[in-house]
Amino acid sequence: MVFRWNMSHTRIILNCYETFEKFLPYLVPYFAFINILALPYTFWSVWYQKAKARQWCPLCLNVMILLWIIFILNILFRYIGLPVFEFREIQLAGCIYAIPVFMLNLTVPLLGEGRQVERLRQEINSFKASDRIFKVLLTQQSYHEVSRNDSQLLFGNPDVRMLVTVFSNPFCNPCAKMHERIEKLLKDTKGGVCIQYIFTSLKENLDYANRSLIAGYMEKDRVEAMRLYSDWFGKGKTLREVFFSDMQLDMSNPAVEVEFQKHESWKKKAQLRSTPTILVNGFELPENYKVEDLQYFTRINLD
C-alpha cells in the first residue's frame, strides 16, 4: 500500500527547514541545490520500475514524491539559489548527510546481531528443555551416592522420583542466595519436587547452627521449618547464637545428634568441599543448567 501524504508530513519538512534557518541558515541553499541534483533520479526510478522491474515499489514511489514535494516547497519559500561554495560549508553539509548514513550502518548490524542472539537463546532453551538431553548431560556428571536416609530434612513431595539434594553451609552467603532460589522452585512447582538439605560447616564451633536447624525441622511442621530456614539465611546468620535463643529448641533430643552425624558421615563419604552444591539423584547439576530449570523435569525418569 502506498503511503498517503498529508499536511502533518509537510509540516515536518517545514520544521526541519525552520531548524536549519535558525541554527544553520547558510546551509539551506546547499540542501536545496542537492535536492535539485536528485530530481533526475526520480524519472529513472519510475522508468526502471515500469519497464525493467515491471512492478511498483511503494517505498520508492514515496521517496520520489517526497523529493518533488521538497522541491516545490523550496520554490514557494524561495530557498532555491546558487550557493557561494565554501569548503567549510560543503564539509558541514556533507557531514549532515553522512552522519545518519554512518549511524545506520553501525546500528542496523547491531540490531541484527541482537535478533540473532535472541534467536540463538531461544534455540538453546529449546535444546535444554529436552528431557532426553537433560538426562544425558546429567548422567555424565560426577556422582555421589545419596538417599533419603542420609538426611530427613525434606521439603516438597518426598514421594517423587527426583531427589534434589542441597549441600549447604548455614554461614555461606551463596548458600543463602541458593536457598531463596530453592524456595522459589518449591513455589513454582507447588511442592512438586523433593528438596533435601545436608548441612556442613567450616569449624566445629559453628556446628551449633547445623544442630539448631535440624532441631527446628524436627519440632516444627514443614511450612514453619522452611520459614525458619529462610529467616536464618536472610538475617539469622549474622546474629549467630542469638537468633536461636528464644526458640526453646530441644537440643538434648538424641534424634538431633543422630541426624547431625548422618550429615557428617555423608559429607566424609561424598568428599564435597564446595557449597552450595546441587545434586539431582546424586548427580551434580550440569553447568549449563540452573536450579530453576528443574521445574521442567519434575516427571523425568532418572532410574
Look at residues 119, 77, 75, 96 and name the one whose alpha carbon lies nearest to residue 24.
Answer: 96
Other C-beta atoms lying within 10 Å of the C-beta of residue 28: 19
pTM listed for this prediction: 0.61
Residue among 35, 18, 6 at smallest CA distance from 77: 18
Cell 538431553, residue located: 133
What is the rounded distance in angstroms from the CA atom of residue 225 to the CA atom of residue 153?
Answer: 9
Q: Give pLDDT, residue 27.
A: 67
Model confidence pLDDT, tens digit, residues 145-185: 999 999 999 999 998 888 999 999 999 999 999 999 999 99
Q: What is the pLDDT of residues 51-74, one digit of tens each?
A: 887 888 888 888 888 888 888 877
% of the chain with per-residue pLDDT over 90: 43
* pLDDT attached to residue 1: 42
State the pLDDT at residue 117.
65
Topology adopted by domain 142-297: Glutaredoxin (3.40.30)
Instruction: Kindly list the strands in the beta sheet with 277-280, ordered across the sheet, starting from the edge strand earlier in the chain.
Output: 154-156, 194-199, 163-168, 277-280, 283-284
The span from the CA of 262 to the CA of 264, in Å, is: 5
Contact 200, 169 (CB under 8 A): yes
Of residues 132 and 3, more confidently modeled: 132
pLDDT of 5 over the 70 cut: no
Examine the pLDDT at 93 and tell me if it is beyond 90: no
For the chain, give the mean pLDDT.
Answer: 83
Domain boundaries, the chain: 7-125, 142-297
Q: 134 pLDDT exceeds 70?
A: yes
Q: Where are the alpha helices (DSSP H) in the chain?
A: 7-23, 28-47, 58-76, 87-128, 131-139, 173-188, 207-219, 222-231, 237-239, 241-244, 254-270
User: For cell 564539509, what's the residue?
Assistant: 91
